[in-house]
Amino acid sequence: MRKDFLAITDLTAAEAYEIFELSRNLKSRQKYGEVHQPLKGKTMAMIFQKPSARTRISFETGMYQLGGHALYLGPKDVQIGKREGVSDIARVMSRYNDVIMARLFGHEDILELAEYASIPVINGLTDLIHPCQVMADVFTILEHKGKIENLTIAFIGDGNNVCNSWLNLASIIPINLNLGIPEGYDPDKETLSRAKRAGISKIQICRNPKMAANNAQVIYTDVWASMGQEKEAEQRKLDFRLFQIDDSLLSHAEEGCIVMHCLPAHRGDEITDSVMDGPGSVVFDQAENRLHVQKAILVKLMT
């Protein structure tokens, strides 16, 4: 692996599968109460410009389980790029810590952080991509479907950072990716173009969500208005009203289709209670698997 994990495209397919196999191993060890501390004595600095329940809990818990210590640094603790330059923060933390995880707004900041840090940097989320989330999602699909290659995955909703990370995944592992997205909310143009140029996966944008869901083995959604888009929420509700994951939409998918959501969910907007709590939902498996996959990423980068 490279020094840092900033995007799924930092990995080869073989490296991604190595992480999934290690995730399986670490999850099993944890389930059976086996103490496994390969990162004993190591410290992780966690920089949060954006708050998050799952990202903080999973990384902090994971580092503890691996024998290390995680230090939470909120928006007022490290005003990255404001009170102090990104490159200087990177150099200072490299003197104190063994790894940095950062959850930031601007993608250029995570790139600069990694450039100047002499220790590994993990992208916990930027406005462009959310690689740890989609790695955990793929691991969850492997658990439930036994494979990921050539499955039809319908991502229905906003072409946001999670959607962009699915496109990055499609650049290294062959899948059929149907993007059910309303006009004006498409994913990042360069990310989409790069995924198509890779020629590995079948990728299509569908303006009709039922067409995107047709015969899908996996249906995925996310909030219609992400953090920082609160002022657009009412307009987005209008624009996305036909893109709700409900029982009617689910009926177009393949029998046994699993439903995914990266959380937090706005029940009644992008997903209904009946689907979220239904037999096909693996939403909380996804949330748990953030822990195991991120532990695997930490171990791979640090040992």
Tokens found for residue 302: 């640090």
Q: Beta-strand (E) ranges in the chain?
A: 43-48, 69-73, 99-103, 121-125, 152-156, 176-180, 202-206, 218-221, 258-261
Give the contacts of 103 (CB within 8 A, at least 6 positions apart). 46, 47, 48, 49, 50, 52, 55, 124, 125
Coil, helix or strand for 84?
strand
**Number of residues that this document lists for the chain:** 303
The residue type of 163 is: C
How many Å apart are CA 8 and CA 50, to the nearest integer? 21
Tokens found for residue 134: 């989609």
Of 16, 5, 2, give the one whose Cα is nearest residue 171. 16
Catalytic positions, please? 262
Angle between helices 86-96 and 107-116 (to 10 degrees): 50
Would you say 206 and 180 are in contact if contact means Cβ atoms under 8 Å apart? yes
